[in-house]
Structure 1
Amino acid sequence: MLPKEMLAWGLVLLMSNFAVTVAHETLDRALRLMSETPLIDGHNDLPWKLRQIFNNKINKVDLNTLSTTHTNIPKIKAGRLGAQFWSAYVPCDTQDKDAVRQTLEQIDLIHRMCNKYPETFRFAYTAQDILNAFHSNRIASLIGVGGGHSLDSSLGTLRIMYDLGVRYLSLTHSCNTPWADNWLVDTGSEPSEHAGLSPFGKRVIVEMNRLGMMIDLSHTTVNVVNQVLDISEAPVIFSHSSAYSLCPHKRNVPDEVLKKVKLNRGIVMVNFYNDYVTCSEKATLSDVADHFDHIRNVAGADIIGFGGNYDGITRVPEGLEDVSKVPDLVAELVRRGWSDKEVKMALGENLIRVMRAVEWVRDSMASAAPDEEPIPYNEVKRKCRTSHGYADAAAVHPLSTLALLLTLALQAFFTFTA
């Protein structure tokens, strides 16, 4: 080998070794930060996978060895997960049918999962519970309900779900409810039914504030977002959405909304789904980091979080194939010059702050009575719904009864005179 070739080869080796050293240093720093601050992920659909594959029979599955999902216990531990919002999701085709029952079964599943693996999971109700679980080396487990159709337009159901541990509600999923429009309206593929929120929908927001339940806007229209931001006394969340400017998908958050979330002191938790990262079937870890950078540049590091959407997505970025890979994303943020403070905010401090603010609003409204006024019956009247408790709807029944009696009387008369 000629001297010049030897020198060039030596430089290549030197640069390669330097790159490896830097990579190790950034990962080490990322892992240190993750040991000091819990990584809180806003959305994981493992419970729905367990419904699809095992019909919720978790005694038939071992989460230590399950290999067909993005999430299992070894992957969670390798990913240094500190807290997870598990999605109690049921599809839109349950609306006006059995959505409440199916959602309650998903809530039950999450509780049973925590009870089956107490050495790994600890159920959490409050921001402090998250920190307590983290300090005891457990994964704080919380519940988010994945669509307003799960309420069956009932504030009583909302309150019961809160009592069962639900700490956020996605106002819609991919269907309009009788009181809110979903994100597909903004694509033009579905008509708007409420121009955002109906009057009852606005009352849902107030009741969520009173309860201390976080409002998730990830699947709503921009009209709903703006109306909620005008109404809510508490910060809001986007549990799994990315930046619209980098991928103009209607599930993502436009810059003007990012700025409003900043004023609201809320949080946008970045989704890893390729279609929301690059608007294509392929994406990389670096592409996801671009969304973190963009949101930081537009509105600051204090509104950013992680919302991977694992086990609810069909395509994942190269380098983020499952939950275990998340430390590599944190290391990428470190490599890009994020300060320790900024990384810690994105990891979990932002969500803890939001949750504490929601709890503060709840406490400040402690003297307010629960909203007892039901949604107007004509807004939810369906063949599977009764009208018990609706005085105006019940008033229809005497007329129907009278018509029936007249019909029977006429039939009897003609029979008698025939």
Structure 2
Amino acid sequence: MLRRFTLATLLLLPMTVLHSQKAPDAALLDKARALHKQVPLIDGHNDYPWALRENAARDLDKLDITKPQPTIMTDIARLRAGGVGGQFWSVYVPADLAGQAAVTAALEQIDIVHRMMRKYPETLELALTADDVERVFKKKKIASLIGMEGGHAIDNSLGALRMFHRLGARYMTITHSKNVPWADSATDQPTVGGLSPFGEQVVREMNWLGMLVDLSHVSPDTMEDAIRVSAAPVVFSHSSSRALNDVPRNVPDNILQMLPKNGGVVMVTFVPGFLSPKVAAHSAAQTAEQNRLKQQYPSDENAVKAAGEAWLKANPAPRATIADAADHIDHIRKVAGIDHIGLGGDFDGITSVPEGLE
């Protein structure tokens, strides 16, 4: 049973993060690069498969990451420059898909990841275990793992969950932006108060399979229930600290304090609105203005668009910075401990990145 959980253990490896608004000390930068060659830096969340679906109809030739891809955030050159040793490719399914439509979309996204392995065998190799990650890393390739984003993709079926595992999925985010019948999301109205009894079954089944229980996107009650039920370390594949930025998608301190006993990891994300309170406040104000304009011009989309652009010109968006990301890492280190920090960029799942993380 313990071998099933070795993938989670690998994610506990400490990571060195440099942050400064001044030029980094050359010796420290050399040390960080040397560490990247010794230890696989694992990114917990990349949405290239969804970018391929949205921008290229799932055609790898149309968005070939062996070439520079300025219209998206991911290509092999940037993965290499960032020192990525392991990548969880997100199998994202929108929360408004349900039932068999969600299952089919998840299967199609997993198919993309498998086709990526065939198209880029000199760079990417599928990893199903922690041993696989280490083996692939030693071959100087990027160990590629599959992470399902959204428990609605299993359509309330443990059998579907088991089959997704057999196809290579090694974590599943319990919810996305909306509740599932058996678990509450962070960005929806609570209905079951965390995990339902079936939700607890899902967590136990994931433990038995060796799938990481991903608690990004879930409500604090769901986080607490899942950590209580799980016999294995949990993971937050792309979340940051709620104490530093009070948005629902971040992790409260009382949950961080549970991680040393559980062994879990918060993979700090680079979503600007999760890192910076200024960015979050601006996004909230922009959403409120957009809603106001829709009420003012209920049947005139052009007027809404023009007025929205004028508002944005008068109220330019602030930017999160690499220092903000480092502050979240430091806070989680203080509360949970250095063994419970990872990185989950969410590249290609966001529209902009913090300054310094381009």
Task: Please point out which of 39, 42, 56 is paired with 2:41.
Answer: 39
**Residues in 2 aligned to 1:317 and 1:91: alpha-carbon distance in whole angstroms:** 24
Encode CA deviations 1:36-70: one digit per residue, 9 max, x unaligned: 11110100111000000011111333212222111
- Equivalent residues in 2 for 1:148-227, closer than 5 Å: 148-184=151-187, 190-227=188-225
Task: Please point out which of 55, 63, 66 is paired with 2:65.
Answer: 63
The residue type equivalent to 2:210 in the other structure is G
**Residues in 2 aligned to 1:173 and 1:264: alpha-carbon distance in whole angstroms:** 23
* Offset, 1:279: 2.6
SS at structure 1 position matched to 2:238: coil
Encode CA deviations 1:64-96: one digit per residue, 9 max, x unaligned: 222211110111111111000000001011113
Encode CA deviations 1:245-286: one digit per residue, 9 max, x unaligned: 111111111111101012111100001111000133321111
In structure 1, the partner of 2:107 is: 104
* Offset, 1:314: 1.5
CA gap of 1:119–1:236, structure 2 versus 1, over 3 A, is same
In structure 2, the partner of 1:27 is: 29
Encode CA deviations 1:380-408: one digit per residue, 9 max, x unaligned: xxxxxxxxxxxxxxxxxxxxxxxxxxxxx
What TM-score results when the alignment is normalised by the length of structure 2? 0.81
* Offset, 1:97: 4.8
- 2:321 is equivalent to residue 284 of structure 1: yes
**Residues in 2 aligned to 1:47 and 1:298: alpha-carbon distance in whole angstroms:** 34
**Residues in 1 aligned to 2:65 and 2:77: alpha-carbon distance in whole angstroms:** 8
Contact 1:274 1:280 in 2 (8 A): no
**Residues in 1 aligned to 2:189 and 2:332: alpha-carbon distance in whole angstroms:** 30
Encode CA deviations 1:321-345: one digit per residue, 9 max, x unaligned: 1xxxxxxxxxxxxxxxxxxxxxxxx
In structure 2, the partner of 1:233 is: 231
**Residues in 1 aligned to 2:22 and 2:213: alpha-carbon distance in whole angstroms:** 43
Contact 1:121 1:138 in 2 (8 A): yes
Encode CA deviations 1:310-368: one digit per residue, 9 max, x unaligned: 110122110001xxxxxxxxxxxxxxxxxxxxxxxxxxxxxxxxxxxxxxxxxxxxxxx
Task: Please point out which of 135, 141, 146 is paired with 1:143.
Answer: 146
Once superposed, what is the RMSD of the aligned Cα atoms?
A: 1.4
SS at structure 2 position matched to 1:133: helix
The residue type equivalent to 1:215 in the other structure is V
Contact 1:267 1:303 in 2 (8 A): yes
Structure 1: unaligned runs, 5 residues or longer: 1-18, 185-189, 322-418
- 2:254 is equivalent to residue 256 of structure 1: yes
Contact 2:99 2:153 in 1 (8 A): no
The residue type equivalent to 2:169 in the other structure is V
In structure 1, the partner of 2:129 is: 126
Q: Of the two, which has the highest radius of gyration? A: 1
Contact 2:215 2:237 in 1 (8 A): yes
Encode CA deviations 1:152-177: one digit per residue, 9 max, x unaligned: 11111100000000000000000111
CA gap of 1:110–1:202, structure 2 versus 1, over 3 A, is same
In structure 1, the partner of 2:270 is: 272
In structure 2, the partner of 1:301 is: 338
In structure 2, the partner of 1:49 is: 51
Contact 2:256 2:335 in 1 (8 A): yes
CA gap of 1:20–1:181, structure 2 versus 1, over 3 A, is closer
The residue type equivalent to 2:220 in the other structure is V
What TM-score results when the alignment is normalised by the length of structure 1? 0.70
SS at structure 2 position matched to 1:88: strand
Contact 1:124 1:141 in 2 (8 A): yes
Q: Report the count of equivalent residues.
A: 298
**Residues in 1 aligned to 2:112 and 2:255: alpha-carbon distance in whole angstroms:** 35
CA gap of 1:20–1:153, structure 2 versus 1, over 3 A, is closer
**Residues in 2 aligned to 1:87 and 1:118: alpha-carbon distance in whole angstroms:** 19
SS at structure 2 position matched to 1:248: coil
**Residues in 2 aligned to 1:268 and 1:21: alpha-carbon distance in whole angstroms:** 28
SS at structure 1 position matched to 2:112: helix
Contact 1:271 1:306 in 2 (8 A): yes
CA gap of 1:194–1:21, structure 2 versus 1, over 3 A, is closer
The residue type equivalent to 2:52 in the other structure is L
Which one has a larger percent helix, Structure 1 or Structure 2? 1
The residue type equivalent to 2:333 in the other structure is R
| Percent identity between the two aligned chains | 49
**Residues in 1 aligned to 2:233 and 2:199: alpha-carbon distance in whole angstroms:** 17
SS at structure 2 position matched to 1:140: strand
The residue type equivalent to 2:325 in the other structure is V
Contact 1:38 1:81 in 2 (8 A): yes
* Offset, 1:20: 8.4
